[in-house]
Amino acid sequence: MSTTRQLQVLQSGVEPCCPPLTERPFTAVEAERAAAMFKALGDPVRLRLFTAVASHENGEACVCDISDVGVSQPTVSHHLKKLKEAGLLTSERRGTWVFYRVEPSVLAAMSHLFAIPAT
């Protein structure tokens, strides 16, 4: 992603938790916030669910779309809840289904963490 595009996304509403990892040592508060997001992605099943939502049409999916990861439906729901609590997914009920979505601003904030300083 270009720096320009990244800035556009960042300016569209997200408040990044932290500077790039290479900029300076994180404070305890910054480390708590960023580590919570990494921890949420640090489980293979959760990561498969996250990529299933993120890559689904229009960046959103209901549980019915993404349950093909070899675990039970309650386990899927449990992991989706954890991803929501970490701020990585949002959800919205429509009729009988809950739809999950990855906000582009979240990806931009995460991408910002891995920005490499210009050489």
Q: Minimum distance from CB of 34 to a second copy (Å)?
A: 6
- Answer yes or no whether residue 62 interacts with a second copy by CB under 8 A: no
- Answer yes or no whether residue 24 interacts with a second copy by CB under 8 A: yes
Structure tokens at 88: 């990585």
Angle in degrees, 0-180, between the axes of helices 104-113 and 3-11, rounded to the nearest 10: 130
- Answer yes or no whether residue 10 interacts with a second copy by CB under 8 A: no
- Answer yes or no whether residue 71 interacts with a second copy by CB under 8 A: no
Distance CA 105, CA 115 (A): 15
- Answer yes or no whether residue 48 interacts with a second copy by CB under 8 A: yes
Write the CA distances from 72 to 63, 66, 87, 101, 118, integer angstroms: 11, 12, 23, 21, 46
Structure tokens at 94: 């429509």
Q: Minimum distance from CB of 59 to a second copy (Å)?
A: 7
Angle in degrees, 0-180, between the axes of helices 73-85 and 44-54, rounded to the nearest 10: 80
- Answer yes or no whether residue 78 interacts with a second copy by CB under 8 A: no
Distance CA 66, CA 45 (A): 11
Question: Which of residues 84 and 96 has its CB atom nearest to a second copy in the complex?
Answer: 84
Q: What residue ranges bind a second copy (CB under 8 A)? A: 1-3, 5, 9, 21-26, 28, 31-32, 34-36, 38-48, 50-52, 54-55, 59, 66, 70, 102, 104, 107-108, 110-111, 114-116, 118
